[in-house]
Structure 1
Amino acid sequence: MASLTPSLQDLLVSSLMILLVLLYIAYWRSKYQSLFPVDWPIVGLLPTLVANLHRLHDKITEYLAASGHSFTGNGPAASNMRLFVTCDPDNVRHIFTTNHDNYPKGHEFAEIFDIMAGAFFTMDGELYRRQRAKTHSILSDPRMVASMASSCADKVRDGLLPLLTSMASTRTPFELQDLATRLMFDVTAMPVFGVDPGRLSPDMPSMHVSAAMDTIMEVGLFRHTVPPSCWKAMRRLKIGPERKLAAAHAALHVFVSEMMEKARKQEAAPSSMSMDVLSSYINDPDYVGLLHSILITYMVAGRDTVGTTLPWFFYNLAMNPRVVSGIREELAHNIATSTCNGDGAPVMFSPEDTKSLVYLHAALFETLRLYPPGWIERKTVVADDVMPSGHEVRAGDAVLISIYSMGRMESLWGEDCRVYRPERWLYDSRGGRKMRHVPSHKFLSFNSGPRMCPGKNIAVMQMKIIAAAVVWNFDLEVVEGQAVVPKLSCLLQMKNGVMVKVKKRAV
């Protein structure tokens, strides 16, 4: 047989090399595709995200762990979107503090949450700084702090505890997330409007307004993940998620108008509220035309933070009885100063009672570490920059910070990072146990830098009042056979809630 010509030999060698490379790629993908996101031509990361929607939070966590806490990718070609996804604390500090002005929320973020347009949640720059100063002056006013503490304690004493007592007598299962949401809807609305909307009551009135707030966060995630041209077209045509969102916007505006009218009628009557948010804005000329957006923002901020955390907190306690025992042991030292409604009635703990409870504080922060209410943050790059991790970002890029993933990184929290263990937040000192300081760029549940949550202390106070009363007076049992997982939303709510039974504790 004649020898092969050089050109044919080259062709065969090249073909063999290509075949080997293809086989290697096929093998590599079969073995490692679960570890790294595939950035496809034309469609970018979209197919990878869609294929993993059923476990999106944990899939992003796996990608970040495998890639060293950060990776880049692209959106669909038509969107011209470049993404930088991270949970690296050094990058977070750079984005939120060191080079804060280069990473605003951006115009697209304000468009995504257009129901709150013009309010501090969507603002950047000088407009944000002015509104933050106003918000800080309101939330730091002793009268407002007292009003918020009073409204929370009153609702727990007169609403939550009697309702749980009634449910304990029948041992009928109930959905915990719905109950927590009702509670925090009322607890938030009372100091915002000076009026109790009464959503937490035995007859369980309609929660369509609260459901509208959930819709904002669910459709918000949809808007984050598709090209703006796509959801804007759907908005114009009033189809898909945008049709549902339009109805939610209408419901919220009607609710705000109704509450403002109730507040106006109540002005002449004696009120238990010494101060409310509405009265702080209604006569301020700087906020004419923005009042609805601002009041909705306060409602979202108050209801969503605590209302999303409490179900996860009580779920974790039900799964970890030793933590319940630790909280009760700590509460026992404060029982002498607590109050009750009469013989055999549930015990209440005041904000002063719970202020020094470090183990309860640690249990709440451990919940926030694993289940942050706002599980992802979005920023926009103004000018080209290099991250501490070495990744380059360009002007116009979207930056996504996975707070959920940050709490699940072994390199940050240890090999037991997925274990619910409040003790990781504590250390022993001569004066007893104290809370360990964890920098906000590592624990981002209350944001960081110039955008640190101004209502952090109030939220912690509310959670402590509620948690102490429930843990001391009742035992919660999770009904078996449930899959308790996060739903697809900008909020880390439970997809199907969680069914529980409650039993009155003998103390």
Structure 2
Amino acid sequence: MDPSYLFIELLSVLCFVLIILYYHHLQSKKTSPMEPTKWSVLGHLPGLIANIHHLHEWSTSVLAGAGYNFEGQGGWTGQLYFITCDPSNVRHIFTSNFANYPKGDVFAMTFDILGGGIFSADGESWRRQRVKVQMLMADPRFRALTARCSHDKVEKSLLPFLALAADERRPCDLVDVFLRLTLDVTCTLICGIDPGSLVTGLPVVPFMRATDVALGTIFLRHIIPVPYWKLMRRLNVGPERKMAVARRTIDSFVDDLIARRRDRPDMLNLNEGANTGYADLLSSYLCQENDTDDYSTGDEFIHDTVLNLLVAGRDGMAAALSWFFYLVSTTPRVEQKLLDELALVVASRDDDGGMATFHASEIKSLVYLHAAMCETLRLYPPIPFEFKTAAAADVLPCGKVLKPGDKVLFFNYSMGRMEGVWGKDCKEFRPERWLTEEGSLRYEPSYRFFSFNTGPRTCLGRDMAFVLTKTVAAAMLWNFAFEVVPGHVVEPRLSIILHMKNGLVVRVRRRAAGTISRVVTAPT
């Protein structure tokens, strides 16, 4: 044999042995078997890439093995996060020491599509926006609009669509249905305009596709180092190329909504204290455009405000409803208890036939439905993770020392699956954990049940979200049964919102005639 070939072969074997020895050395330094291997140059990046297809479950196992806290390093990529799902850290950062943890420049850069809206703003801009939105959402007219719009959309669009699907015996993707439903309702509540996307035939809505692309790209920006994705954006290549196209589509849709609302001659002037007319949020902003003392002026501000509220309303509620029906349809015990609770409401009515809907005043009494919805949000929070940046040095309750500029990544998805937080049955869908022995709702602190955030940034749309999701869920459950199509794979999509990757394809059938009641109309 040629000596040179022999030398190359021996050198290859030696390199292989050295790699194996180095790998075992790295393994010996782990504090938990689930901890990803930390390479000297690449850090934890190889483990992240290898497990990105099931990122949420993988991150949960890593955090469980590491005691709820883990330092993630990207080596030469420059990415560095302190990752946590510890409720004490959440309470400290989002409540106790809130001022030290703004969204930060990196957040604003990553979520640049939101502009200067409430979800990316900090400081005085955020405070003034929040006060404004909170005041508008607390208005009795807006609450009444929420209840009326939710009920009408269910009665006139959702139930007829599902009835047709049941009669034609064709599979139905509930994720697509819910995204269309929540888009229509959210546009109505924010702009007073129903785009009519949930109709027979399901028309193509470019905004929906564009939003999916944008949310997926923002997710990738959490993994790809900032300098690299900024370079891709500058060169208009890769996911950033798709993002640019999606952004133009989204901006066009929002601008069209605003323009259509401006053209309405019957727009309500809330500044005059009128108690009739439209109560959508955009009306108030547009009526104050000529008020030079008000900060909420300018086309760019109004555009960013509408887009922020639209994305939060549409995607969050659609994700919650999708996971709710997946869990209920695969848990017959829970489904039956929900039907038993609804039966008590229906039994108190005079039966006049037809499909039943439920008004907001009746929804309030459905305690088990509320518990089931909370349990869904615990297991599948619409926003599975988010991050903050430390403005000044700090020490977290877990003992971690943070320097100015350090980033903290919170895994809300993982917190709902920690035995130390929710018990040994934490991975089970069990609405009863939200009920007391007397049958009333059990309070859980928001730093444990983090689906609506906690502290000063607690979600302002929480009540609106519950009204819509419970109105939809009650009517759908009472009138129809849903079965996930055999073989259909249900898993999270790689997105900043916990949508389903393959949708939720189900077969729809009408409930037995004896369980059908009548449509309930809003009280006069």
TM over 0.5: yes
Judged with a 3 Å threshold, the aligned counterparts in structure 2 of structure 1 residues 406 and 283 are, in CA distance, closer, same or farther, namely: same
Check conservation: 1:378, 1:400, Cα contact below 8 A.
Answer: yes
Show the counterpart of 2:407.
398
Quote the Cα distance in structure 2 between the aligned partners of 1:237 and 1:32.
42
Q: Deviations over 1:436-473 (max 9, x none)?
A: 11100001000000000011011011111000000111
Query: What is the DSSP-based 3-state SS (H/G/I as helix, E as strand, rest coil) of the residue aligned with 1:334?
Result: helix
Judged with a 3 Å threshold, the aligned counterparts in structure 2 of structure 1 residues 46 and 315 are, in CA distance, closer, same or farther, namely: same
Show the counterpart of 1:316.
327
Query: What is the DSSP-based 3-state SS (H/G/I as helix, E as strand, rest coil) of the residue aligned with 1:435?
Result: coil
Quote the Cα distance in structure 2 between the aligned partners of 1:111 and 1:215.
17
Judged with a 3 Å threshold, the aligned counterparts in structure 2 of structure 1 residues 87 and 474 are, in CA distance, closer, same or farther, namely: same
Quote the Cα distance in structure 2 between the aligned partners of 1:476 and 1:326.
16
Q: Deviations over 1:184-212 (max 9, x none)?
A: 11010111111110000002011220121
Q: Taking structure 2 as the reference length, what is the TM-score of the superposition? A: 0.88
Quote the Cα distance in structure 2 between the aligned partners of 1:504 and 1:44.
54
Of 492, 497, 503 in structure 2, the residue corresponding to residue 491 of structure 1 is 497
Q: Deviations over 1:212-247 (max 9, x none)?
A: 122221111111112211111111111111111111
Amino acid at match of 1:234: M
Of 238, 254, 257 in structure 2, the residue corresponding to residue 256 of structure 1 is 254
Quote the Cα distance in structure 2 between the aligned partners of 1:291 and 1:269.
16
1:274 shift after superposition: 2.7
1:371 to 2:380 alignment: yes
Quote the Cα distance in structure 2 between the aligned partners of 1:242 and 1:339.
57
Check conservation: 1:338, 1:349, Cα contact below 8 A.
Answer: no
Query: What is the DSSP-based 3-state SS (H/G/I as helix, E as strand, rest coil) of the residue aligned with 2:437?
Result: strand
1:101 shift after superposition: 1.0
Quote the Cα distance in structure 1 between the aligned partners of 2:366 and 2:68.
34
Quote the Cα distance in structure 2 between the aligned partners of 1:202 and 1:169.
13
Quote the Cα distance in structure 1 between the aligned partners of 2:311 and 2:148.
20
Check conservation: 1:425, 1:436, Cα contact below 8 A.
Answer: yes
Show the counterpart of 1:68.
67
Judged with a 3 Å threshold, the aligned counterparts in structure 2 of structure 1 residues 19 and 454 are, in CA distance, closer, same or farther, namely: closer
Spell out the pairing of 1:103-252 with structure 2 (5 A cutoff). Answer: 103-252=101-250
Amino acid at match of 2:193: V
Amino acid at match of 2:320: T
Check conservation: 2:494, 2:501, Cα contact below 8 A.
Answer: yes
Of 443, 451, 454 in structure 2, the residue corresponding to residue 445 of structure 1 is 451
Amino acid at match of 1:25: H
Quote the Cα distance in structure 2 between the aligned partners of 1:292 and 1:394.
36
Show the counterpart of 1:307.
318
Quote the Cα distance in structure 2 between the aligned partners of 1:277 and 1:103.
29
RMSD over aligned CA atoms reads 2.2
1:34 shift after superposition: 5.3
Amino acid at match of 2:132: K
Show the counterpart of 1:4.
none
Query: What is the DSSP-based 3-state SS (H/G/I as helix, E as strand, rest coil) of the residue aligned with 1:399?
Result: strand
Show the counterpart of 2:370.
361
Query: What is the DSSP-based 3-state SS (H/G/I as helix, E as strand, rest coil) of the residue aligned with 2:263?
Result: helix
1:337 shift after superposition: 5.9
In structure 1, stretches of 5+ residues that fail to align are 1-17
Query: What is the DSSP-based 3-state SS (H/G/I as helix, E as strand, rest coil) of the residue aligned with 2:506?
Result: strand
Query: What is the DSSP-based 3-state SS (H/G/I as helix, E as strand, rest coil) of the residue aligned with 1:42?
Result: coil
Quote the Cα distance in structure 2 between the aligned partners of 1:381 and 1:505.
53
Judged with a 3 Å threshold, the aligned counterparts in structure 2 of structure 1 residues 361 and 237 are, in CA distance, closer, same or farther, namely: same
1:20 shift after superposition: 12
Check conservation: 1:339, 1:349, Cα contact below 8 A.
Answer: no
Check conservation: 2:33, 2:65, Cα contact below 8 A.
Answer: no
Quote the Cα distance in structure 1 between the aligned partners of 2:410 and 2:349.
41
Judged with a 3 Å threshold, the aligned counterparts in structure 2 of structure 1 residues 294 and 337 are, in CA distance, closer, same or farther, namely: farther
Show the counterpart of 1:6.
none
In structure 2, stretches of 5+ residues that fail to align are 1-17, 269-275, 290-294, 516-524
1:339 shift after superposition: 9.1
Query: What is the DSSP-based 3-state SS (H/G/I as helix, E as strand, rest coil) of the residue aligned with 1:38?
Result: coil
1:54 to 2:53 alignment: yes
Judged with a 3 Å threshold, the aligned counterparts in structure 2 of structure 1 residues 472 and 45 are, in CA distance, closer, same or farther, namely: same
Amino acid at match of 2:378: R
1:464 to 2:462 alignment: no
Amino acid at match of 1:274: Y
Quote the Cα distance in structure 2 between the aligned partners of 1:303 and 1:467.
16
1:368 shift after superposition: 0.3
Quote the Cα distance in structure 1 between the aligned partners of 2:20 and 2:262.
77
Check conservation: 2:26, 2:37, Cα contact below 8 A.
Answer: no
Aligned length: 482
Show the counterpart of 1:292.
303
Amino acid at match of 1:488: L
Q: Taking structure 1 as the reference length, what is the TM-score of the superposition? A: 0.91
Judged with a 3 Å threshold, the aligned counterparts in structure 2 of structure 1 residues 273 and 504 are, in CA distance, closer, same or farther, namely: farther
Show the counterpart of 2:418.
409
Quote the Cα distance in structure 1 between the aligned partners of 2:313 and 2:367.
23
1:273 shift after superposition: 6.5
Judged with a 3 Å threshold, the aligned counterparts in structure 2 of structure 1 residues 24 and 219 are, in CA distance, closer, same or farther, namely: closer
Check conservation: 1:376, 1:404, Cα contact below 8 A.
Answer: yes
Quote the Cα distance in structure 2 between the aligned partners of 1:110 and 1:23.
38
Check conservation: 2:267, 2:278, Cα contact below 8 A.
Answer: no
Judged with a 3 Å threshold, the aligned counterparts in structure 2 of structure 1 residues 39 and 385 are, in CA distance, closer, same or farther, namely: farther
Check conservation: 1:338, 1:347, Cα contact below 8 A.
Answer: no
Check conservation: 1:113, 1:122, Cα contact below 8 A.
Answer: yes
1:294 shift after superposition: 0.7
Quote the Cα distance in structure 2 between the aligned partners of 1:386 and 1:229.
29
1:277 to 2:281 alignment: yes
1:41 shift after superposition: 2.5
Check conservation: 1:46, 1:75, Cα contact below 8 A.
Answer: yes
1:498 shift after superposition: 1.6
Quote the Cα distance in structure 1 between the aligned partners of 2:125 and 2:348.
45
Check conservation: 2:26, 2:38, Cα contact below 8 A.
Answer: no
Amino acid at match of 1:90: S
Quote the Cα distance in structure 1 between the aligned partners of 2:241 and 2:462.
34
Show the counterpart of 1:478.
484
1:89 shift after superposition: 0.4
Judged with a 3 Å threshold, the aligned counterparts in structure 2 of structure 1 residues 28 and 482 are, in CA distance, closer, same or farther, namely: farther
Query: What is the DSSP-based 3-state SS (H/G/I as helix, E as strand, rest coil) of the residue aligned with 1:73?
Result: strand
Q: Deviations over 1:395-414 (max 9, x none)?
A: 11111000000000011111
Q: Deviations over 1:369-423 (max 9, x none)?
A: 0000000011001111111111111111111000000000011111111111101
Of 446, 461, 476 in structure 2, the residue corresponding to residue 455 of structure 1 is 461
